[in-house]
Amino acid sequence: DYIYGYENGYVLMTKDSSFIPGKGYWVKTKNLTSTGHLILNKYGDPCWMPKITSSFDLDLSKMDKFIVTDSTGYSQTLYVSNTDVDTLMLNLNLDLPPIFSEIDFDSRFEYNEYVKKVSADSGSIDLNILVHTNSYPVSLVWELNPENGINYSFINDSGTGKISASLNELSQLTFYNLNDNMIKLSAMATDRNGLSNTPLKFDLYQNYPNPFNPVTIIKYDIVKVQDVKVTIYDILGREVKTLVNEQQQPGSYTIKWDASNVSSGVYFYQLKSKDYINTKKMILLK
């Protein structure tokens, strides 16, 4: 169970947080069949504010931190946890409260996540940040804890595919507009020995689902640093879409193809790098 406050952005209330008179709070329970109590002492000293008793004690300060701020000063802090290091997060899923139309600013990870979980076994994952604001520019800054062993990249979608840049080489990103109201990042965690969970060989897996309508998932493995291109072709061999066109680190990758704007039929997807090329067939049924 957990509680959020709001101060120009949602804030997770931990066991050391305090309720402030006149403020509103959002409470979520994991088990709707159980009962519980939130007890406040209305007769306390005027300077005293009741403490929250939480069923868990998260230490957000040790997690990697991403701060999204718009031009009016509204800000949201989001967190990333390496569950190989922070085992408390293994069985926790922290979702943010719903987005309300009256709110001028909101930012969260895709799927309403407040804390995104990664591990060495998860390979490279999408770390997309949704931003709701009309006040540009929007800035993204980050504070990374080296003990978490997570490598991040900023993904810039271009007409020729995805171009990535390591966040370790940057200090801040500023956006004057956002396609799909989204900042696209990727994350890959290393294991406790400081090594990524590197696949043993290049591989391209069958897409899932297949047949599909309209979105399908494509997974592949890279064993060493190489320029990688993933391309969709139609049955006549014409290029339909470039999904990836970037240098990638060793690891397992997952990408999505949304075929909403093409017709039903047989398509092919190809993984191409310096040392590997493979093509597989998939079927779009609408």
Q: What is the mean pLDDT of residues 152-178?
A: 72
> Which runs of E-coded beta strand occur in 149-225?
150-158, 161-166, 172-175, 182-183, 185-189, 203-204, 215-222
Over residues 176-191, the mean pLDDT reads 87
- Where a domain ends, among 133, 156, 189? 189
C-alpha 160 chain-centroid distance: 23
Number of domains in the chain: 2
Please identify, among 160, 189, 218, the residue that sits at the C-terminal boundary of a domain: 189
Task: Quote the domain boundaries for residue 65.
Answer: 60-189
Say yes or no: 67 and 106 in one domain: yes
pLDDT band, residue 192 (cuts 50/70/90)? low
225 and 180 housed in the same domain: no
- Kindly state whether residues 136 and 80 are assigned to the same domain: yes
Considering the domain boundaries, does residue 50 fall inside one? no
Per-residue pLDDT, averaged over 57-61, amounts to 77
149 and 251: one domain? Answer: no
The residue from 165, 189, 213 where one domain ends is 189
SS3 87: helix
pLDDT tier, 46 (very low <50, low <70, confident <90, very high otherwise): very low
- Report the share of the chain in percent with pLDDT over 70: 82
Give the residue from 276, 271, 221, 207 showing the smallest Cα distance to 245. Answer: 271
To the question of pTM greater than 0.85 for the whole model, the response is: no
Q: Is residue 213 located within the same domain as residue 134?
A: no
Asked if residue 213 and residue 180 are part of one domain, the reply reads no
Q: Is the pLDDT of residue 283 over 50?
A: yes
**pLDDT at 101 (0 to 100):** 78
Q: Check residue 53 and give its pLDDT.
A: 46
Residues 207 and 183 in one domain: no
262 pLDDT higher than 90: yes
Domain contains 107: yes
Note whether 72 and 177 are same-domain residues.
yes
Check whether 23 has a pLDDT greater than 50. Answer: yes
Residue 47 lies in a domain: no
Helix, strand or coil for residue 161? Answer: strand
Domain shared by 227 and 156, yes or no: no
Q: Is 51 contained in some domain? A: no
Q: What does the pLDDT look like over 198-230, one tens digit per residue? A: 678 899 999 999 999 999 999 898 888 889 999
Q: Are residues 74 and 183 in the same domain?
A: yes
